[in-house]
Chains A and B, each alone.
Chain A
Amino acid sequence: SQTIHQWPATLVQPVGSPLSLECTVEGTSNPNLYWYRQAAGRGLQLLFYSVGIGQISSEVPQNLSASRPQDRQFILSSKKLLLSDSGFYLCAWGAANYGYTFGSGTRLTVV
């Protein structure tokens, strides 16, 4: 069965510090991978998606970047965090016409 792992679960980082969140998927090959952010208002905002190694599409221009160095690994990064980067970050995998499977998420607080 397919599983998705996301870590860390909670992170408190100072403004201006770098960020690296990792997501890995098991039990499937060449998955479509997604990074979402959920702010206090509950909506899910698509940040990046990837259909293959090295292929990244950005949905919202911002302080973040994403990379996919391996087929089942998706990384969300920032060189310098802003206060506005605080939120709940969710990784997901999915394919056309199937539901998305979300990771357990990372709660990021930038202080």
Chain B
Amino acid sequence: GQQVMQIPQYQHVQEGEDFTTYCNSSTTLSNIQWYKQRPGGHPVFLIQLVKSGEVKKQKRLTFQFGEAKKNSSLHITATQTTDVGTYFCAGEGSNYKLTFGKGTLLTVNP
């Protein structure tokens, strides 16, 4: 079945440093979605990427979808303490089901 790998598992940064998490799928995806889960909370949808090579930005967050539609990345510029949480990618295959990566836990030292 479809597998989505996400690295790194953990990332600790100093406030102001950049952060990137990477996602790779074993199969070609129809779209990829990104979610953020604050400590103690539930996952919250951030964005969806559909097109090959697509790049989207949300303030300090930049999302990319690979040309082959099998990989993606989330980059945060100049992290803030409010960025703390676990970031998940989730790939949607041809069966309309989402497969989540295991997430990257980001901690930020003020």
Q: Which residues does A use to contact B, with CB under 8 Å?
A: 32, 36, 41-44, 46, 49, 90, 94, 96-105
Q: Tally of A-B residue pairs with Cβ under 8 A?
A: 52
- Give Cα A46 to B99, complex, Å: 8
CB neighbors of A among B73-101 (8 A): 86, 88, 90, 92, 96-101
- A44: chain B residues within 8 A (beta carbon): 43, 88, 90, 100, 103
Query: If the complex has contacts A43-B103, A44-B88, are A99 and B48 also in contact, measured as CB distance less than 8 A?
Result: yes
Is the interface on chain B under 10, 10 to 19, 20 to 34, or 35 or more residues? 20 to 34
What are 7 A-B pairs at a CB distance below 8 A? A41-B102, A43-B100, A94-B98, A99-B45, A100-B33, A100-B43, A100-B90
Query: If the complex has contacts A101-B45, A102-B43, A103-B42, are A42 and B102 also in contact, measured as CB distance less than 8 A?
Result: yes
Check: B64 CB closer than 8 A to any chain A CB: no
- A99: chain B residues within 8 A (beta carbon): 33, 35, 45-48
- B48: chain A residues within 8 A (beta carbon): 97-99
- B52: chain A residues within 8 A (beta carbon): none
- B92: chain A residues within 8 A (beta carbon): 96-97
Q: Which residues does B use to contact A, with CB under 8 Å?
A: 30-31, 33, 35, 41-48, 50, 86, 88, 90, 92, 96-103, 105
Closest to B1 in A: A59
- B47: chain A residues within 8 A (beta carbon): 99
A23 to chain B, nearest CB (A): 12
Q: Please list the 9 inter-chain residue pairs (A to B) with the smallest Cβ-Cβ separation, ordered nearest first.
A: A99-B45, A44-B100, A43-B102, A102-B42, A96-B96, A105-B42, A42-B103, A102-B43, A104-B42
User: Are the C-beta atoms of B102 and A100 separated by less than 8 Å?
Assistant: no
User: Are the C-beta atoms of A97 and B45 separated by less than 8 Å?
Assistant: no
Closest to A6 in B: B42
Closest to A99 in B: B45
- B35: chain A residues within 8 A (beta carbon): 99-100
